């Protein structure tokens, strides 16, 4: 069993060779309160807090917002061990650990903006929902798996090892061991085994308040307190299945496909083509169980497409980081003044 699971890890891991994740530097500590709002970055699978791509990203952010304090979440000082922790570990423990890290940075005490790369997007959302102290102002998630991953990228016809591997993942992903040790297993959401997923997975169903018997209303209250939630989907994402997960989309569960087939009312037949349930049709949205609907209806949910493959942020990051990261209290005051003027005209 261990061998199969190790194989699963390697397989899942090889899928996410994330290019851009975060790191941090220690030299901008003496930043005064009136400077840009600080930023917390959390890197993706296969990356580390100080990987070259992350350092480059931080440099660019600092050029754009001079004086900004940036903290890059890490679970070890050594890059190699931190990278390992992106594959192996318990997500709930890591989120708690990240919360401690954030609390121990005095620069973050008044709140911060946050960027989560790939899997870290849903981890930072868990931070907001479960603790959010100090509070996040804007949260940007790049290519994250908010409704989990539901499959591995498709195998080519006759690629037997690939097909065997997919079967092994489906068989082993909800084992106790995988759920406690394999990071990506903790956001694997198999549309054909939803009840097993709800029962065995201790991370994603919880932060998504998917189990109607244990809804935690604090999660919604906290998420609603965000100023903006920016969800970036990569239009050519070949890693995240389905890519719409970045926008809270998911495959319809097996029961739905069977029912549609029996009704003759839909394209989804069992084992046939899978249909995507978009965010606004998700039960968690309809019932507003994590506050998404509130954020959306007040106009603070931003859907962004990046015209590229998974974590190739080049075509889209500048605009987003300019607009949603590092605003100063000065700018905020200007925004308020502007709003008052507009309202004055209205009256």
Ligand X SMILES: *[C@@H]1O[C@H](CO)[C@@H](O)[C@H](O)[C@H]1NC(C)=O
3-class DSSP state of 27: coil
- Assess 100 for contact with ligand X (CB under 6 A): yes
Whole-angstrom distance, CA of residue 293 vs CA of residue 301: 9
Continuous segment of H or E residues that includes residue 123: helix 119-130
3-class DSSP state of 72: strand
- Assess 88 for contact with ligand X (CB under 6 A): no
Query: CB 218 → ligand X: shortest distance, Å?
Result: 4
Q: Which of 216, 227, 275, 305 binds ligand X (CB under 6 A)?
A: 216
Query: CB 250 → ligand X: shortest distance, Å?
Result: 13
* Number of Cβ within a 10 Å radius of residue 97: 16
- Assess 281 for contact with ligand X (CB under 6 A): no
Mask: binding to ligand X, 193-212, rule CB under 6 A, as x and -? -------------------x
Q: Which of 97, 181, 304, 328 binds ligand X (CB under 6 A)?
A: 97
Q: Choose one: 172-180, 225-233, 280-288, 305-313; the region binding ligand X (CB under 6 A).
A: 280-288
- Assess 83 for contact with ligand X (CB under 6 A): no
Tokens of 248: 């809270």
Q: Which of 16, 42, 49, 75 binds ligand X (CB under 6 A)?
A: 75
| Phi and psi, residue 115, nearest 5° | -125, 125
Q: Which one, of 140, 117, 127, 124, lies nearest residue 56 by Cα?
A: 117
Cβ–Cβ < 8 Å for 49, 78: no
Whole-angstrom distance, CA of residue 141 vs CA of residue 121: 5
Q: Which of 110, 283, 334, 336 binds ligand X (CB under 6 A)?
A: 283
Cα angle 274, 11, 74 (rounded to 5 degrees) comes to: 105
Of 22 and 326, which has the nearer Cβ to ligand X?
A: 22
- The catalytic site residues sit at 118, 237, 310
Residues that bind ligand X (CB under 6 A): 75-76, 97, 100, 130, 212, 216, 218, 283, 286-287
């Amino acid at each position: 069993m261990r061998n199969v699971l190790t194989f699963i890890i390697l397989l899942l891991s090889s899928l996410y060779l994330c290019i851009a994740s975060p790191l941090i530097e220690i030299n901008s500590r003496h930043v005064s309160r009136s400077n840009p709002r600080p930023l917390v970055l959390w890197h993706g699978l296969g990356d580390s807090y100080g990987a070259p791509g992350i350092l480059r990203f931080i440099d660019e952010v600092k050029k754009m917002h001079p004086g900004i304090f940036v903290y890059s979440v890490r679970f070890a000082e050594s890059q190699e061990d931190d990278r390992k922790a992106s594959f192996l570990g318990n997500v709930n423990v890591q989120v708690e650990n990240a919360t401690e890290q954030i609390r121990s940075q005095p620069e973050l005490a008044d709140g911060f903006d946050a960027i989560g790369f790939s899997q870290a997007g849903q981890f930072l959302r868990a931070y907001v929902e479960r603790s959010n102290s100090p509070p996040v102002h804007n949260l940007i998630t790049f290519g994250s798996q908010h409704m989990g991953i539901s499959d591995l990228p498709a195998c080519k016809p006759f690629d037997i090892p690939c097909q065997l591997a997919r079967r092994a993942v489906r068989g082993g992903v909800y084992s106790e061991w995988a759920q406690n040790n394999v990071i990506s297993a903790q956001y694997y959401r198999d549309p054909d085994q939803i009840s097993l997923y709800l029962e065995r997975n201790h991370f994603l169903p919880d932060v998504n308040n998917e189990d109607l018997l244990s809804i935690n209303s604090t999660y919604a209250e906290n998420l609603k307190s965000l100023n903006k939630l920016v969800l970036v989907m990569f239009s050519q994402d070949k890693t995240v299945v389905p890519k719409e997960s970045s926008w809270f989309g998911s495959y319809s569960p097996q029961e739905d496909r069977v029912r549609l087939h029996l009704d003759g009312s839909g394209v989804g037949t069992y084992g046939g083509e899978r249909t995507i349930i978009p965010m606004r049709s998700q039960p968690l949205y309809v019932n507003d169980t994590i506050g998404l609907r509130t954020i959306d209806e007040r106009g603070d949910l931003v859907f962004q497409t990046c015209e590229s493959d998974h974590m190739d942020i080049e075509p889209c990051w500048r605009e987003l980081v300019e607009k949603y990261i590092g605003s100063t209290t000065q700018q905020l005051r200007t925004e308020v003044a502007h709003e008052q003027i507009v309202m004055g005209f209205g009256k």
